[in-house]
């Protein structure tokens, strides 16, 4: 993996290159980036650059024996550690080594845009908890006592470091604090909250910022051959995540259906609040719509509520004349403009609170019919107080 192929901030790439060129590499680093960032690719590119025998112009050469081995993720001094569990094939004493071939194929199949939920499906874990376990940590400690094969750095990439099992993490503390010479630990995580403070204190933090919209749009057009307008739409609502943009594109029909449901709901609520035309309220139609959502199960119910929350935030931004902050597709913009008059600073907080409350009750298996009926009239009351 070359730096030029990694989808992260160019400034961050230059920073890592400078540290390697000046031989100021911290032996333990935490790459912290939200879901969907290209953090695994960045870690591999950094490791490849450090190991390259002919690096130049701020990147690996891609041609030396070391780079060719990195291209296959089979360099003898590169050690990949990732969450795993017992499976039908590996019935006991599981560790990352036993799934290495499967993990490499997974990385290549997703072009390094790897996601934990996708890996869980790949593992076919059958609802088992997957983690970086104590055997993985023991393997790291044992390997750390052996000299590198190529005479350079031994590099350990721990993907999803927040999945370090609580019994396993303490075993790494001494190794992280006092590793053998020319040993580099790259811990990749989406959240630092789930990592032991004693692990955090032994690592140097490297924050990976979300991708800019124009970068995501450009890659969707160039790499995925997506229409320019479609790419712009989905880049706008991707929240800086390329993998999320790809996932949303696959769900275009679902998004358009959600937008139609939003339009129907707001049309009804507007009629209810203004009393301009009670027939336009058509609450029976809204009840039927809620019924359809309820039948599809909890995940669809949560998806609808989360969509409401996102649209409500955009409506408030429009009302406050902050159009530049709105994250929405072109078709959504049209609907947002239609109802922005309903939203004020006064009713925005109650509306979002009611959405969060509905999500809370859905998670706890409260009657979905009651949740959606209550949500409708609570939203109507909030709009009435605008």
Which DSSP symbol is given to 211?
P
348: which 2 tokens?
């925005």
Place of tokens 């679902």: 254
Q: What is the pLDDT of residues 302-316, one digit of tens each?
A: 999 999 999 999 999
| Residue 363 burial class via C-beta count within 10 angstroms: exposed 0-12, middle 13-18, buried 19 and up | exposed
Give the length of the chain: 386
Instruction: Output the average pLDDT for the chain.
Output: 91
pLDDT exceeds 70 at position 214: yes
**Does 231 share its domain with 130?**
no
Evaluate whether 316 touches 294 at the Cβ level (below 8 Å): no
Residues 6 or more apart from 318 whose CB is under 8 A from it?
326, 336, 337, 340, 343
∠ CA(82), CA(87), CA(89), 5° rounding? Answer: 110
pLDDT exceeds 60 at position 276: no
**Does 117 share its domain with 177?**
yes
pTM above 0.85, yes or no: no
- In this prediction, residue 139 carries a pLDDT of 92
The span from the CA of 25 to the CA of 179, in Å, is 13
**Does 236 share its domain with 257?**
no
Q: What is the pLDDT of residues 168-193, one digit of tens each?
A: 888 888 888 888 888 999 999 998 88
Q: Note down the domain range covering 143.
A: 3-209
- In this prediction, residue 168 carries a pLDDT of 85
Here the CATH number for the domain that contains residue 166 is 3.40.50.300
**Does 192 share its domain with 239?**
no
The span from the CA of 45 to the CA of 3, in Å, is 5
Q: How many helices (H) and strands (E) does the chain have?
A: 18, 5
| Residue 118 burial class via C-beta count within 10 angstroms: exposed 0-12, middle 13-18, buried 19 and up | middle
**Does 146 share its domain with 19?**
yes
SS3 at position 189: strand
- In this prediction, residue 259 carries a pLDDT of 96
**Does 187 share its domain with 320?**
no
**Does 147 share its domain with 51?**
yes
Q: What is the pLDDT of residues 110-133, one digit of tens each?
A: 999 999 989 999 988 767 889 999
Tally of domains within the chain:
3
pLDDT exceeds 70 at position 277: no
- In this prediction, residue 167 carries a pLDDT of 83
Strand ranges for 113-203 from DSSP E: 154-159, 183-189
Evaluate whether 60 touches 67 at the Cβ level (below 8 Å): yes
**Which of the four pLDDT bands, split at 50, 70 and 90, describes residue 361?**
very high
């Amino acid at each position: 993996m070359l730096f030029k192929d990694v989808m992260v901030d160019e400034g961050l790439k230059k920073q890592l290159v400078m540290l390697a060129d000046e031989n100021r590499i911290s032996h333990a680093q935490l790459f912290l980036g939200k879901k969907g960032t290209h953090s695994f690719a960045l870690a591999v590119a950094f490791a490849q650059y450090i190991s390259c025998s002919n690096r130049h112009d701020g990147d690996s050469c891609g041609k030396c024996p070391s780079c060719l081995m990195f291209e296959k993720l089979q360099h003898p001094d590169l050690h990949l550690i990732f969450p795993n569990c017992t499976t039908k094939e590996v019935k006991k004493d599981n560790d990352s080594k036993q799934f290495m071939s499967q993990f490499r194929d997974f990385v290549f199949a997703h072009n390094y845009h790897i996601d934990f939920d996708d890996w869980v499906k790949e593992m076919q874990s059958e609802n088992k908890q997957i983690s970086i376990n104590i055997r993985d940590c023991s393997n790291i400690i044992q390997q750390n006592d052996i000299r590198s094969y190529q005479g350079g750095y031994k590099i350990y990439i721990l993907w999803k470091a927040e999945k370090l099992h609580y019994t396993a993490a303490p075993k790494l503390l001494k190794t992280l604090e006092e590793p053998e010479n020319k040993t580099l630990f790259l811990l990749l995580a989406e959240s630092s909250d789930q990592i032991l403070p004693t692990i955090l204190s032994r690592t140097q933090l490297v924050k990976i910022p979300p991708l800019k919209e124009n970068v995501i749009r450009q890659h969707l057009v160039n790499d995925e051959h997506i229409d320019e307008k479609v790419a712009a739409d989905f880049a706008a609502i991707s929240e800086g995540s390329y993998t999320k943009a790809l996932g949303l594109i696959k769900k275009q029909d679902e998004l358009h259906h959600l937008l139609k449901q939003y339009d129907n709901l707001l049309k009804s609520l507007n009629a209810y609040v203004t009393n301009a035309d009670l027939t336009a309220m058509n609450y029976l139609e809204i009840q039927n719509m809620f019924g359809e959502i309820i039948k599809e199960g909890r995940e669809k119910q949560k998806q609808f509520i989360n969509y409401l929350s996102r649209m409500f935030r955009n409506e408030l931004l429009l009302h406050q004349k902050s159009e530049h902050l709105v994250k929405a597709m072109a078709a959504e913009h049209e609907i947002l403009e239609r109802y922005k008059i309903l939203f004020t600073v006064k009713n925005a907080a109650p509306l979002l609170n009611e959405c969060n409350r509905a999500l809370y009750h859905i998670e706890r298996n409260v009657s979905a019919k009651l949740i959606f009926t209550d949500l409708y009239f609570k939203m109507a009351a909030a709009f009435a107080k605008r």
